Amino acid sequence: MRTVGILYRPHLEAAATLARQLAEALEARGDRVWLTPAWQEGDGLQTQLDSTDVLVGLGGDGTILLAARATLARAIPILGVNFGRLGFLAELPPHEALARIPALLDGQGHIEDRAMLQARLHRFGEAQHEPPDEEPEHHALNDVVVGRYAPGRPIYIEVAIDGQFFNTYRCDGIIVSSATGSTGYNLSVGGPILHPQAQDLVLIPVAPHLNLRNALVLQPDTMVELRVRTDHQAVLAVDGQLNLPLSEGDRVEVRRSPYVTRFLRTGERSRFYETLVERLR
């Protein structure tokens, strides 16, 4: 018996209604189904995921990003149903979900792996033998951003690439994105769009002042170090959902994660560019 998890966007009645309808349809076929609203991560969700074969996400890209981090290291395929505005990560519109999801679960789709990012936080002055104050390692499907905490003065961020100093930016922030994240925050500041299955990283500054504005496309095995050089607070943002305060001297190492996000897709493997134009239009 297959187990299907349904993660739906809370406070959106249409998503909750479709989640219930989908659960009833799948259970009628003999599947085991569980439902939970997004943003309620915890031990209960992790226990359910241990025996889950496919996770269906009903919501916007934020719901899919949460699902990607929740399924980390489990390699559970995610099928996204778009209730958001753009829905770059989703596969189906809501009106097709009930008709098409059973066939996809029965093997009429394919699995697509997406590279993720790993961010490791090093607090300034933290002795190597001392345990960190918080979990230092975080994983992102879209991007890792080091930026200013609030509107006001820009911050200084020192960038090193593979251990070699590259540049010090006076800017609002630095984005390191995956290929998947290239259509997110990176795109909004003029960065390049990569094919979502590319392994490369993109580094781009946000509103740099009198400095290099160009984006860098980096090789898959590149390690980027971002060190905060500022006398006021900055923030580390992981997929725009986890936010950790940073202070002078704190350092963030970003590289490709050992994990991937797996998506359950339809049989149409070459529609990325067509879909891209549709979404951006």
Residue 86 is predicted with a pLDDT of 74
DSSP string, the chain: --EEEEEE-TT-HHHHHHHHHHHHHHHHTT-EEEEEETT--SHHHHHHHTT-SEEEEEESHHHHHHHHHHTTTTT--EEEEE-SSS-TT--B-HHHHHHHHHHIIIIISEEEEEEEEEEEEE-TT--TTSPPSS--EEEESSEEEEEESSSSS-EEEEEEETTEEEEEEEESEEEEE-TGGGGTHHHHTTPPPPPTT---EEEEEES-SSS----EEE-TT--EEEEEE-SS-EEEEETTTEEEEE-TT-EEEEEEEEEEEEEEE-S-TT-HHHHHHHHH-
Active site residue 239: no
Pick the catalytic residue from 43, 50, 61, 113. 61
CA within 13 Å, CB half, 228: 29
User: Mean of the per-residue pLDDT values for the chain?
Assistant: 90
| pLDDT tier, 149 (very low <50, low <70, confident <90, very high otherwise) | confident
Whose structure tokens read 């860098």?
216
Residue 270 is predicted with a pLDDT of 63
pTM above 0.85, yes or no: yes
Delimiting residues of CATH 3.40.50.10330 domain(s) in the chain: 3-109+266-280
CATH for the 116-259 domain, from 3.30.1130.10, 3.30.420.40, 3.40.50.2300, 2.60.200.30? 2.60.200.30
* Rounded average pLDDT over 35-55: 82
The gap from C-alpha 242 to its chain's centroid, in whole angstroms, comes to 11
Superfamily name with CATH number, domain 3-109+266-280 = Probable inorganic polyphosphate/atp-NAD kinase; domain 1 (3.40.50.10330)
Q: pLDDT, tens digit, for every residue of 249-277?
A: 999 999 999 999 999 998 666 677 777 88
Q: What is the pLDDT of residues 159-186, one digit of tens each?
A: 999 999 999 999 999 999 999 999 999 9
Query: Mean pLDDT throughout 213-219?
Result: 96
Can you give the pLDDT at residue 135? 62
Question: What is the band of 210 on the pLDDT scale with cuts at 50, 70, 90?
Answer: confident
**Cβ atoms of 174 and 224 closer than 8 Å:** no
In the chain, residues under CATH classification 2.60.200.30 are 116-259
First to last CA, the chain: 42
